[in-house]
Amino acid sequence: MAIDLRSDTVTAPSQGMRQAIASATVGDDVYGDDPTVNSLEERVAALFGKEAGLFCPTGSLANQLLIRQLVNPGEELLTEERAHIVRAELGAGAVFSGITTRTWHSDRGLLNADVPLALAHENAGPYLVSTAAIAVENTHNFGGGTVQPINEIAKLSKEARARGIAMHLDGARIWNAHIATGTPLHEFGNHFDTISVCLSKGLGAPVGSIALGSKELIAKARIWRKRYGAGMRQVGLLAAAGHYALDNNIERLAEDHTRAKKIARALAAHDASLINPDTVDTNIVGLDLSQCGITAAEFAKRAGDSGVLISALGKTYARLVTHLDIDDAQCDQAISALIKSLR
Ligand SMILES: *Cc1c(COP(=O)(O)O)cnc(C)c1O
């Protein structure tokens, strides 16, 4: 079997998770009758100190349901230029909600609060676009799993909110940031009006994200979820996987981080231009192949031929992601195969 490092979404539900799914108590969630969904929404909201949660099939939907509550049609959302919301959600904010965006650039996606604060233009009057919200991605996926400094988040949140600008957190991998830094989840909750979190990335559930916010905001998001066609019925089967993931798979993310660091160190020892291992904060290893004379596509092909699947995300940018279906032996095997593929 190939060692799959393309993403942390490729995990298969474990036996324990399958048992939790099989024994879940369920009801019709459109009627609000699914106890397993209700308890999961309440549980995740409480973890982040938010009033309410909404179970969503995908993180993209959770992001989109939330940002449309913060940004009116024709207003703008600011975010980093490689954020999932602007790069990987296929223009959903524009298509469904009339949201315009402006982006800033930062090395590795790392947040410097002064940059969006300088870009923001709240209440811009009748001639210019008004900034309604700022979105922060933590950890930053296409930045290479970058953890955002909590002091920059705090500063951005304080100053943006003082100017009447709302704060959204794309926290698909906030669990990784929490484990890497020890920052309590509710502290992230303090700094953001709305938060999306994924259960189907590092936590290993087959499906599921939770949208978080105030009671009033989530009640509106619930209407829009149904309007978009994502009102689900006995979906406690999937919520049970989410509960299992929260019970069992958060603390173990530290192992994924250790393995990602090990891969980065080994590849840097082979060729220092590939990556600075110090920049590997969590479970994502982003490789710069521009000095190696090989494209990311060619590298991915060679690695695949030797049994390791990786993502070619740019012409010379390749991404490797560790996750709960990769153990130490597979990690070592992957390192040898990757180095062989670079020769
Ligand atoms: C994966 C991901 C999402 C959500 O993706 P879905 O495939 O829609 O569940 C959102 N934000 C980030 C940063 C992600 O990596």
SS (H, E, C) 290-303: CCCCCCHHHHHHHH
Percent helix, strand, coil in the chain, to 5, is 45, 15, 40
Crossing angle between the packed helical segments 328-342 and 296-305, to the nearest 10 degrees: 120
Name the residue at shortest CA distance from atom 14 of ligand 1. 172
CA of residue 92 to ligand 1 center, whole Å: 13
- Which atom of ligand 1 sits closest to the CA of residue 201? 1
Residue among 10, 198, 199, 207 to mutate when testing ligand 1 (max atoms within 8 A of CB): 198
pLDDT tens string 69-96: 999 999 999 999 999 999 999 999 999 9
Residues of the chain with pLDDT > 70: what percent?
Answer: 100
Render the burial of 14-45: b for 16+ CB within 10 Å, e for the rest: beebeebbeebebbebeeeebebbbbbbeebb
Q: Quick one: pLDDT at residue 265? A: 98
- Which atom of ligand 1 sits closest to the CA of residue 60? 8
CA of residue 42 to ligand 1 center, whole Å: 21
CA of residue 118 to ligand 1 center, whole Å: 27
CA of residue 219 to ligand 1 center, whole Å: 22
CA of residue 198 to ligand 1 center, whole Å: 7
Residue among 58, 142, 176, 195 to mutate when testing ligand 1 (max atoms within 8 A of CB): 58
Pocket of ligand 1 (CB under 6 A): 58-60, 63, 84, 137, 141, 170, 172, 198, 201, 209
CA of residue 59 to ligand 1 center, whole Å: 5
The mean pLDDT value of the chain amounts to 98
Distance CA 187, CA 318 (A): 33
Residue among 170, 194, 199 to mutate when testing ligand 1 (max atoms within 8 A of CB): 170
The CATH architecture to which 252-342 belongs is: Alpha-Beta Complex (3.90)
Average pLDDT over residues 118-132: 97
With cut-offs at 50, 70 and 90, classify the pLDDT of residue 232: very high
CB 302 within 8 A of CB 341: yes
Asked whether residue 198 carries a pLDDT value surpassing 90, the answer given is yes
pLDDT tens string 15-68: 999 999 999 999 999 999 999 999 999 999 999 999 999 999 999 999 999 999
CATH 2.40.50.140 given to domain 15-248: no
CA of residue 337 to ligand 1 center, whole Å: 28
Average pLDDT over residues 313-338: 97
CA of residue 196 to ligand 1 center, whole Å: 9
| 96 Cβ contact partners less than 8 Å away, ≥ 6 residues apart | 64, 68, 228
Crossing angle between the packed helical segments 253-270 and 174-181, to the nearest 10 degrees: 80
With cut-offs at 50, 70 and 90, classify the pLDDT of residue 343: confident
Is the pTM of the predicted complex or chain greater than 0.75? yes
With cut-offs at 50, 70 and 90, classify the pLDDT of residue 1: confident
Torsion of CA 142, 144, 147, 149, to 10 degrees: -80
Distance CA 306, CA 340 (A): 9
- Which atom of ligand 1 sits closest to the CA of residue 61? 8
CB 29 within 8 A of CB 55: yes
SS3 assignment, position 130: coil
Name the residue at shortest CA distance from atom 4 of ligand 1. 59
Angle (CA) 225 231 234, round 5°: 145
CB 97 within 8 A of CB 126: no
| 343 Cβ contact partners less than 8 Å away, ≥ 6 residues apart | none
pLDDT tens string 290-304: 999 999 999 999 999
CB 63 within 8 A of CB 227: no
Residues of the chain with pLDDT > 90: what percent?
Answer: 99
Domain with CATH 3.40.640.10 in the chain: 15-248
Domain with CATH 3.90.1150.10 in the chain: 252-342
Distance CA 313, CA 319 (A): 7
Q: Retrieve residue 313's tokens.
A: 């995300």
